[in-house]
Structure 1
Amino acid sequence: MSVFKRNGMGNYYIQFNHNGKTYCKSSKTTNKRTAERMERDWRDEIHRIEELGERPRITLKDALNGYVQSKANTGSSVYAKNNLPAIESKMDTSVFIDELRDWDLNKFKSSREADGMAPQTIKHNLQAIRSAIAWAKDHGYQIKPLTFPKVKLNKHRLRYLSHDEEARLLADLDPKRKRPYRPDYEFRPAAENRMYQDNYDLVVLLLDTGARYSEIANIKWSAIDLENGIINLWRPKVRNESIIYMTSRVKDILTRRYSDRVSDDHLFTNLDGQQRGYQSKGIRSAFQRAGITDFKIHDLRHTCASRLVQAGLSLYEVASILGHTDVSTTQIYAHLERKDVSAKARDVLENLHRLTQGELQ
């Protein structure tokens, strides 16, 4: 029989042979007629796939889950997972991907806008759907060409620290500074002082390496070469590695931390001795106390990049340091380079003018 119960109990199972191959699965129902209908549908599907060359179908939900699983153990894993709740709350993910229409995507975009979501967030949501469809295509499922709605991003001023702001920030993060309602440094618990020191050290490393927060917060000692002053920085987001040469203050910090290390594995740890993860409250509070407004931790990376461009490095050189896989990503700093080029052009013209005046005299 093609439809049967194992030991005469529970749900019906479907089993049959096709072209010498055995197919078997649970119908997940105790209703025999339903199971028999499922068997016919399954046989028809296999016939269309193997005899007629049709591709199998997959629901949006299963494609999204497939895409998320494909990103496991990569820098994009959290990003992929974080988009699922929003998509599942605003779209019927039980539909087959080849049944999706352009207006489904436009309706999703409008719904997210009505909820007050930022354009960048909506763009990420749509990109997750696009990636799920691409995953389904790569795995042989039926898809239909779709036109995704465009999302206009708000233009924000590039934010980076002035040297005065950096001085105020580091003064506030100084572990030995006096803190309201707390004992002096020498009388505080060691764990509290270590927390303050971690925040200070982490900010300096971010400022002087231009790395992403997670790249430094979760870095291992095996990536640190103190003797040669090198950090072998692995970038999970783009899956590449950069060699970063230490500034003197970074080397001093790493030398001190190595001598006082609490872990032979990770440079920064949480209370359980594992990698630090995303703990940013103390740093964000320091921004506020130092009077640094409209500033995020990622802007420390912008600060490093902006200073390099202003000092004369090309966008291609800065892209290499930041680990950008496409120099177009580094174009947000282009206006700083143009300003520097304009100043250089002025100096060249001034020199030519003086030379011309000298020859005329």
Structure 2
Amino acid sequence: MEVFDPALKGFYVDVLASGRKSFRLRYRFNKALRVVTLGDAAVMSLDDARHAAREWLRQVKAGTDPQAPPVQVLGPTVAAFFTDQYLPYIKSYKRSWDTDDSMMRNHLLPKLGHKHMGAITPPDVAVFVEQMRSEGYAPGTCNRALVLLRYGFTLAVRWKLPGVQSNPVKEVKNLRDDNKIERFLNNAQMASLMAAVRGSESEMLQHIVLFLLYTGARKREVLDAVWADVDWERKSWRIPKTKSGKIRHLPLSAGALQLLGSLRDQSAPVGDAGHALRAEWARRPIFANPKTGLPYVSFFYSWDAARKRAGLPDLRVHDLRHSFASFLVNAGRSLYEVQELLGHADIRTTSRYAHLSRERLFEAVESVPVL
């Protein structure tokens, strides 16, 4: 039996044969008749039921169907999150943020940018990796894209981004990368390279390359070096901006000091130059771009031309760092010494050069004559 309330259209009490009573409401939405149970009359008062019915009808009148399934919150798109939130965040502390920016623009956004963060699943991530592989990208490049995406989702979860409840990238393993390139220059290649850089149109190129070989420093560390960081008395170079974020002091060899001394003689104030002038010079980059007086952003074109002239078209600037390490190991220096000079935080990173010392052991055993 249905007992309707004359004061509120569609609101009624439904009395079952068992005697159980329920408050219900009939209404129309988009011309379709709908019925909703508001509550059990045994636990819900009449006033509360009328209030619930009025609220329900208010939503219907506003054009919202209260019985429609809730809209799933999926959060912003990958493009919106990484552009508007992720990138500004890493710019605040990460010196190499432009690397992430490049990875985003070239790989992440074209393939996943249109998807909502909360809608991405582990299979979506796996497809993303496979797309990169099918385009010919090396496992190392794919893994760097995964690291970027994984960290982005970690931040989204940490920041409680609406719609992002978990990190789907955690379920996808990095690709096995057996293609780590560790190239070391031999004496003939070294001579060929130095001849090529000395003949470069860029006068500064030969000094940059030489200093990289003398110190094993990273490219950006060398390009950002200023005169104030050179301690002539202690024969050391202070590197304030390292990959690990820690200041380190690198001892300078006779060759490195000779190179720096030559550049200092060409640029330092002479005679009775005032303190202010000397202080201003100390803040200048050691390997400044002659056209701007600022650190080089890149010297790729002059480097590319030189390496091709040297017959080493695939040689990377970072290979000069590898070559520095090979010089040390082949000279009998320990991996601990190599780790300290290269500024590796983990000895496992330095262990890649261990095979060089093993080669020296093979040479040593060959010293025993065949009997």
> TM-score, structure 2 length as denominator?
0.68
Contact 2:326 2:353 in 1 (8 A): yes
Q: Cα offset for 1:305? A: 0.8
Three-state SS of the structure 2 residue aligned to 1:243 is strand
Q: Return the alpha-carbon distance in structure 2 between the equivalents of residues 248 and 209 of structure 1.
A: 11
Determine if the alignment matches structure 1 residue 265 to structure 2 residue 284: yes
Which residue pairs with 1:88 in the alignment?
109
Q: Cα offset for 1:345? A: 6.3
Give the one of 323, 327, 332 matched to 2:343. Answer: 323
Which residue pairs with 2:246 in the alignment?
240
Larger Cα-atom Rg: 2
Q: Return the alpha-carbon distance in structure 2 between the equivalents of residues 317 and 140 of structure 1.
A: 45
Contact 2:236 2:250 in 1 (8 A): yes
Which residue pairs with 2:144 in the alignment?
124
Contact 2:157 2:166 in 1 (8 A): no
Deviations 1:214-252 (A, max 9, x none): 110121122112232211123443212221111112111
Determine if the alignment matches structure 1 residue 227 to structure 2 residue 248: no
Contact 2:146 2:174 in 1 (8 A): no
Three-state SS of the structure 2 residue aligned to 1:71 is helix
Determine if the alignment matches structure 1 residue 303 to structure 2 residue 323: yes
Does the C-alpha gap of structure 1 residues 317 and 68 become closer, same or farther in structure 2, counting only changes over 3 Å?
farther
Deviations 1:308-330 (A, max 9, x none): 12222222321221111222222
Which residue pairs with 1:214 in the alignment?
220
Which residue pairs with 2:119 in the alignment?
99
Contact 1:319 1:330 in 2 (8 A): yes
Which residue pairs with 1:144 in the alignment?
166
Q: Which amino acid aligns with 1:135?
A: L
Deviations 1:149-179 (A, max 9, x none): 432324255211112211222123225xxx8
Does the C-alpha gap of structure 1 residues 259 and 58 become closer, same or farther in structure 2, counting only changes over 3 Å?
same
Q: Return the alpha-carbon distance in structure 2 between the equivalents of residues 81 and 305 of structure 1.
A: 30
Contact 1:74 1:236 in 2 (8 A): no
Which residue pairs with 1:202 in the alignment?
208
Q: Cα offset for 1:211? A: 0.7
Q: Which moved more, 1:205-214 or 1:119-128?
A: 119-128
Which residue pairs with 2:197 in the alignment?
173
Report the identity percentage: 24
Contact 2:211 2:256 in 1 (8 A): yes
Q: Return the alpha-carbon distance in structure 1 between the equivalents of residues 108 and 127 of structure 2.
A: 12
Contact 1:226 1:254 in 2 (8 A): no
Does the C-alpha gap of structure 1 residues 144 and 249 become closer, same or farther in structure 2, counting only changes over 3 Å?
same
Which residue pairs with 2:184 in the alignment?
160
Does the C-alpha gap of structure 1 residues 37 and 127 become closer, same or farther in structure 2, counting only changes over 3 Å?
farther
Which residue pairs with 1:61 in the alignment?
79
Deviations 1:322-345 (A, max 9, x none): 111222222221211222344556
Which residue pairs with 1:50 in the alignment?
none
Query: Structure 2: which 5+ residue stretches go unaligned?
Result: 1-58, 269-280
Query: Structure 1: which 5+ residue stretches go unaligned?
Result: 1-32, 46-54, 180-191, 355-361
Does the C-alpha gap of structure 1 residues 309 and 137 become closer, same or farther in structure 2, counting only changes over 3 Å?
farther
Q: Which amino acid aligns with 2:324?
A: C
Q: Which moved more, 1:335-344 or 1:316-325?
A: 335-344
Determine if the alignment matches structure 1 residue 284 to structure 2 residue 290: no
Contact 1:133 1:143 in 2 (8 A): no
Q: Cα offset for 1:274? A: 1.4
Q: Cα offset for 1:256? A: 1.6
Q: Which amino acid aligns with 1:268?
A: F
Deviations 1:18-50 (A, max 9, x none): xxxxxxxxxxxxxxx9xx999x9xxx99xxxxx
Q: Which moved more, 1:118-127 or 1:67-76?
A: 67-76
Does the C-alpha gap of structure 1 residues 275 and 37 become closer, same or farther in structure 2, counting only changes over 3 Å?
farther
Q: Cα offset for 1:145? A: 4.0
Q: Return the alpha-carbon distance in structure 2 between the equivalents of residues 259 and 285 of structure 1.
A: 28
Which residue pairs with 1:251 in the alignment?
257
Does the C-alpha gap of structure 1 residues 205 and 37 become closer, same or farther in structure 2, counting only changes over 3 Å?
farther
Does the C-alpha gap of structure 1 residues 152 and 269 become closer, same or farther in structure 2, counting only changes over 3 Å?
same
Q: Which amino acid aligns with 2:214?
A: D
Q: Return the alpha-carbon distance in structure 1 between the equivalents of residues 339 and 63 of structure 2.
A: 58
> TM-score, structure 1 length as denominator?
0.70
Q: Which amino acid aligns with 1:60?
A: V
Q: How many residue pairs end up in the alignment? A: 285
Give the one of 67, 71, 74 matched to 2:90. Answer: 71
Q: Which amino acid aligns with 2:263?
A: R
Three-state SS of the structure 2 residue aligned to 1:260 is helix
Q: Which moved more, 1:309-318 or 1:212-221?
A: 309-318
Q: Return the alpha-carbon distance in structure 2 between the equivalents of residues 218 and 310 of structure 1.
A: 29
Does the C-alpha gap of structure 1 residues 131 and 340 become closer, same or farther in structure 2, counting only changes over 3 Å?
same
